[in-house]
Structure 1
Amino acid sequence: MRAEAIMTKPVVGMDPAASIAEAAELMLSKKISGFPVIRSDGMLVGIVSEGDFLRRGELGTQRKRPRWLEFLVSPGKAADEYVRTNGRRVEEVMSQDVVTASPDSSLAEIVELMTRHHVKRIPVVDDGKVVGIITRSDLLRALLSVLPDRAATVIDDEQIRQSIIAELMARKWAGSDLIDVMVNEGVVKLSGAIFDERERQAAIVAAENVAGVKAVRDDLFCADPLSVILVS
Structure 2
Amino acid sequence: MKARDILTANVITIGIDASLTEIADLLVRHRIGSLPVLDERDRVAGVVSEDDFLRRVETGTERRRSRLAEFFTSEAALQQDYVRSRGLKARDVMRTDQPRIGPDVELAEIADVLERYNIHSVLVVEEERLVGIISRSDLVRAYASVADTRAQPTEDDRAIREALLRELASQPWGRRLENTIVVTDGVVHLWGQVVSPTERAALRVAAERIPGVAKVQDHTTLTGPVAVPE
Structure 1 counterpart of 2:110: 110
Equivalent AA in structure 2 for residue 63 of structure 1: R
Deviation at 1:139, TM superposition (A): 1.0
Between the aligned partners of 1:84 and 1:19, the Cα distance in structure 2 is 13
Structure 1 counterpart of 2:81: 81
TM-score scaled to structure 1, two decimals? 0.62
Secondary structure of residue in 2 paired with 1:32: coil
Between the aligned partners of 2:46 and 2:107, the Cα distance in structure 1 is 22
Matches within 5 A, 1:12-51: 12-51=12-51
How many residue pairs get aligned? The number is 149
Matches within 5 A, 1:143-158: 143-148=143-148
Which ranges of structure 2 fall in alignment gaps of 5 or more residues? 150-230
Greater RCO between the two (CA within 8 Å, min separation 6)?
2
Between the aligned partners of 1:45 and 1:132, the Cα distance in structure 2 is 14
Deviation at 1:103, TM superposition (A): 0.3
Between the aligned partners of 1:37 and 1:121, the Cα distance in structure 2 is 14
Secondary structure of residue in 2 paired with 1:37: strand
Structure 1 counterpart of 2:67: 67
Secondary structure of residue in 1 paired with 2:125: strand
Matches within 5 A, 1:179-218: none
Structure 2 counterpart of 1:99: 99
Equivalent AA in structure 1 for residue 57 of structure 2: G
Secondary structure of residue in 2 paired with 1:47: strand
Between the aligned partners of 2:104 and 2:133, the Cα distance in structure 1 is 13
Between the aligned partners of 1:101 and 1:51, the Cα distance in structure 2 is 21
Identity across aligned pairs (percent)? 40
Equivalent AA in structure 2 for residue 96 of structure 1: T
Question: In the TM superposition, what whole-angstrom CA distance separates every residue of 1:161-189 from its partner, at most 9, and x where no partner exists?
Answer: xxxxxxxxxxxxxxxxxxxxxxxxxxxxx
Structure 2 counterpart of 1:213: none
Question: In the TM superposition, what whole-angstrom CA distance separates every residue of 1:62-87 from its partner, at most 9, and x where no partner exists?
Answer: 11122211121111110010000000
Structure 2 counterpart of 1:140: 140
User: What is the root-mean-square deviation in Å for CA atoms of aligned residues?
Assistant: 1.1
Question: In the TM superposition, what whole-angstrom CA distance separates every residue of 1:211-230 from its partner, at most 9, and x where no partner exists?
Answer: xxxxxxxxxxxxxxxxxxxx
Between the aligned partners of 1:10 and 1:41, the Cα distance in structure 2 is 19
Structure 2 counterpart of 1:124: 124
TM-score scaled to structure 2, two decimals? 0.63
Question: In the TM superposition, what whole-angstrom CA distance separates every residue of 1:74-105 from its partner, at most 9, and x where no partner exists?
Answer: 11110010000000001100001121000000
Deviation at 1:11, TM superposition (A): 1.3
Structure 2 counterpart of 1:197: none
Deviation at 1:118, TM superposition (A): 1.4
Secondary structure of residue in 1 paired with 2:4: helix
Equivalent AA in structure 1 for residue 51 of structure 2: G
Question: In the TM superposition, what whole-angstrom CA distance separates every residue of 1:95-140 from its partner, at most 9, and x where no partner exists?
Answer: 0112100000000010111111111111000111001000111111
Secondary structure of residue in 1 paired with 2:141: helix
Equivalent AA in structure 1 for residue 17 of structure 2: A
Which ranges of structure 1 fall in alignment gaps of 5 or more residues? 150-232
Secondary structure of residue in 1 paired with 2:101: coil
Equivalent AA in structure 2 for residue 118 of structure 1: N
Residue 54 (structure 1) aligned with residue 57 (structure 2): no
Between the aligned partners of 1:25 and 1:117, the Cα distance in structure 2 is 26
